[in-house]
Amino acid sequence: MEIFVNEQKLESIIENEKNLGEVFDAVRRWVETNGKFLLSCIVDGEEFTQNTMRDSSISKASKMEFFVGEELDILISSLHELDSYVDKVGTTLLGRDSLTEKESKELGDGIEWIRSLLESAGKLLKLKYDQIKPMGTGSTVSEILEELSRNSSKLDGTTAIEEFLEYLRDLKLFVMDLVARASVLDLDLPTLREILDTFIKAVPALKESFVKVNESYQAGKDEVATHLLTQSVSQINVLLTSFITLRQKLPGMDFSKIQIAERSFEEKTNDLNDTLASVALALEEKDIIRAGDIIEYEIPAVLDEFLPFLEKVKEQADSLAV
């Protein structure tokens, strides 16, 4: 069997692999080790499917083609495709009480594609999915993927489909945030400075959005509140990710020198992350009152304290960019 990666034939990557699934896993490990990510795999002209091809013998195939992303913009494009796919699955399942055998197989393959893409994205972006909980949910990304994978072939009633959709909504929240984070990593310096400047000016509006989140929770509009919360937290995550890229674009950038009243920039960043984590914990424990208090009062207070540090970051970035 011949193996190609981006139309280039590989000669020595396969050793003791006996079936297509083992080949797929070996190539994916090799791709990730080289700091790239796997987009898709074609076996003799057909998309590789976990359910039907994984256990197939190598002798039954003549050609395996792997398509690997080498640029961040390809990853971002793939994440947008993933976001659209999650929406499509949700729309298809909504109101259904069962799936056809064909739909069930396609869904299983789709979930495995999601897992594969997110694993590659996680390696590239250095994310630990067993530690990340999408805002408003009690499960980690790893747990969400496991539940979706485990239950994709068992959607034989409205209850099972509704539970599956709950985990799918959790995944949607994470994908929205992931797209925002990844997009920042490929921005140029002027755009990064603009993000920083825009965020500083938008802090009052962001604080107000957190108040609206709590109001929605108190009114029993949990889905609206979760959506608003995800949007607001994504703005913060975009900002935090921009610091990473800013340091890459400006090697002289030294956040350790930014201090105000004996508090460091890193300490204030940790305060912000810890406050967001406390919201996730309260929501996981279904303590809406505690979550609401943190969202409406503690987060805005932390943002107010963080604002002078952002001004210092902007000053340092402006001085280095001259």
Q: What is the tens place of the pLDDT at every residue in 4-25? A: 988 888 876 667 778 898 888 8
Architecture of domain 2-69: Roll (3.10)
Q: 66: buried, middle or exposed (CB in 10 Å: 19+, 13-18, 0-12)? A: buried
The dihedral formed by the CA atoms of 217, 219, 220 and 222, expressed in degrees to the nearest 10? -40
Q: Output the pTM of the full model.
A: 0.60
Instruction: Work out the mean pLDDT of the chain and round it to a whole number.
Output: 85
Q: How far apart are CA 85 and CA 77, in angstroms?
A: 12
What is the predicted pLDDT for the residue at 137?
Answer: 59
Confidence of residue 84 (pLDDT cuts 50, 70, 90): very high
Q: How far apart are CA 181 and CA 238, in angstroms?
A: 5
Of all residues in the chain, the percent with pLDDT exceeding 90 is 31
pLDDT at 130 over 90: no
Q: Fold for domain 187-321?
A: Four Helix Bundle (Hemerythrin (Met), subunit A) (1.20.120)
Q: What residue spans of 60-188 are helical by DSSP H? A: 72-93, 101-125, 141-151, 158-184
Amino acid at 39: L
Q: Could you report the per-residue pLDDT of 227-281, keeping only the tens digit for each?
A: 888 888 888 888 888 887 787 777 788 888 899 988 899 899 888 888 888 888 8
Q: Could you report the per-residue pLDDT of 271-287, keeping only the tens digit for each?
A: 888 888 888 888 878 88
Task: Indicate the SS3 state at residue 300.
Answer: helix
Q: Could you report the per-residue pLDDT of 152-189, keeping only the tens digit for each?
A: 988 989 999 999 999 999 899 889 888 887 778 777 78
